[in-house]
Amino acid sequence: MDLLAFAKGPALQVAAYIFVAGTIWRIVGIVLLKEKVDYSEPRKSAGLMAALKVIYTRSFTASPFKRATLYPKMLAYVQHLGLFAVIFLFVPHIMFFKGFLGFDWPGLPNNIIYLLGVASVVASIALLVRRLTSPVLKLISNFDDYFSWFVTVLPLVTGLMIPVRMGLRYEDILAVHVLSVVLLMIWFPFGKLGHAFLVFVTRGTTGMVFERRGAKT
């Protein structure tokens, strides 16, 4: 079996199992912990709507904090939106999703995707530089931060190498790209990349607690 067939086949399968099992493991392990009961009289009722509200609003920084956090926030947005576009709006990827979802959606022209991919890589590098040089981030960062950065940027870079080619064979780079995604999928549930699904829990629960008090969310 050549490298590409291995990457697309057994490797991707195992990655899918680990991704699914790990994500569910983490969510269930957290959700099944004790539930906090609150007997205080609520100022406002705060159920699912409060959770959804804060899930949405926390994506935007409140204005008193904007100036201090503008630079990293901007970089993070470029990185995330670039990633989103590359993953979900690039036609070959859309076909990948169609393979197991059964439906597809319109994509963007490849050249735009390449541009957004490059922007995402540049933003990622800038974020890494910041993490390595800011006193706060230098202190609080650990292996998880750096490794998660690496497994997120690697698929972007290897993906961009497919059109750029640099003298390598298409199927070889494609195999490396798929394997980098396999690595990402395997790491995803366990490190801080899990924030992709945990964000709903953290923002949601905070939303419910604080909205209940009528406090700022």
Partner 1 sequence: MKKRPTVGEILQAKGVSRRGFLKYCATTASILALPPAMIPRIAEAIENARRPSVIWLSFQECTGCTESLTRSASPTVEGLIFDAISLDYHHTLQAAAGDQAEAARHAAMEENDGQYLVLVDGSIPLGNPGFSTIAGISNVDMLKETVAGAAAVVAIGSCAAFGGIPGADPNPTGAVSVMDLVTDKPVINVPGCPPIPMVMTAVLTQFLTFGQLPELDKHGRPLAFYGQTIHDRCYRRPFYEQGKFAETFDDEGARAGWCLYKLGCKGPTTYNACATAKWNSGTSFPIEAGHPCLGCSEPNFWDGGGFYEPLSTGRFDSGAKLAGAAGIGVALGVAAAAAGRSKQAKFTKEG
Partner 2 sequence: MTTVDGRHELDREAERLAYKPPEIRHDKQGDMASEERINQAMHHFVKNFNTQTASYLDGCLHCGMCADACHFHVRTDDPRYTPIWKIELFKRTYKRQVGPFAFFYRLLGLKRHVSIEDLEEWQHLLYDSCTVCGRCSLVCPMGIDIAGLVSMARHGMFKAGLVPHELHETAKTSAETGSPLGITPEKFEERVEWMADEHDVEIPMNVEQADVLAVMSSIEINKYPQSIAATAKILNAAGESWTFRTDGFEATNFGMLSGNAEWQKKASMKLIDAAVKIGAKTLVLPECGHAYMALRWMGANMYGKPLPFKVMHISEYLADALNTGKIKVKKVDKSLTYHDPCQVSRRGGATQAARDVIKHLGVDFREMEYGGDYNWCCGGGGGVITIKRADPLRHRVFKLKMDQVEKTEADELVSSCANCRQSFDDSQQHFNWDYTMGSLMEMVAENLEEGNS
The residue ranges that bind partner 2 (CB under 8 A) are 25-26, 28-41, 43, 54, 58-59, 61-62, 64-65, 68-69, 72-73, 76, 134-142, 144-145, 190, 192, 194-195, 198-199, 201-207, 209-210, 213-216
Tell me the CB-side half-sphere exposure of residue 203, using CA atoms within 13 A: 18
Nearest approach, Cβ of residue 132 and partner 2 (Å): 12
Q: What does the block give as tokens for 132?
A: 């390595």
Q: Going residue by residue from 169 to 188, which x/- string records binding to partner 1, judged by CB under 8 A?
A: -xx--x--------------
- Strand, coil or helix: what is 67? helix
39 interface partner picked from partner 2, partner 1, none, CB below 5 to 8 A per type: partner 2
Nearest approach, Cβ of residue 72 and partner 1 (Å): 32
Task: Return the biggest CA–CA distance within the chain.
Answer: 68
Q: From the list 37, 67, 99, 142, which residue makes contact with partner 1 (rule: CB under 8 A)?
A: 99
Q: Which stretch binds partner 1 (CB under 8 A): 44-52, 105-113, 120-128, 152-160?
A: 105-113
Q: Of the two residues 34 and 100, which places its CB atom closer to partner 2 in the complex?
A: 34
Q: Are 217 and 53 in contact (CB under 8 A)?
A: yes
Give 181-201 as a DSSP string: HHHHHHHTTTSGGGHHHHHHH
Determine, following the binding rule CB under 8 A, whether residue 140 of this chain makes contact with partner 1: no
Q: Are 180 and 174 in contact (CB under 8 A)?
A: no
**Tokens 């750096």 sit at which residue?**
146
Q: What does the block give as tokens for 212?
A: 């209940």
Q: Of the two residues 29 and 135, which places its CB atom closer to partner 1 in the complex?
A: 29
Tell me the CB-side half-sphere exposure of residue 24, using CA atoms within 13 A: 6
Question: What distance in Å separates the CA atoms of residue 38 and residue 42, rounded to the nearest whole number?
Answer: 9
145 interface partner picked from partner 1, partner 2, none, CB below 5 to 8 A per type: partner 2
- The residues that touch partner 1, with contacts defined as CB under 8 A, are 2, 4-5, 8-9, 12-13, 16-18, 20-34, 91-93, 95-96, 98-100, 107-111, 170-171, 174
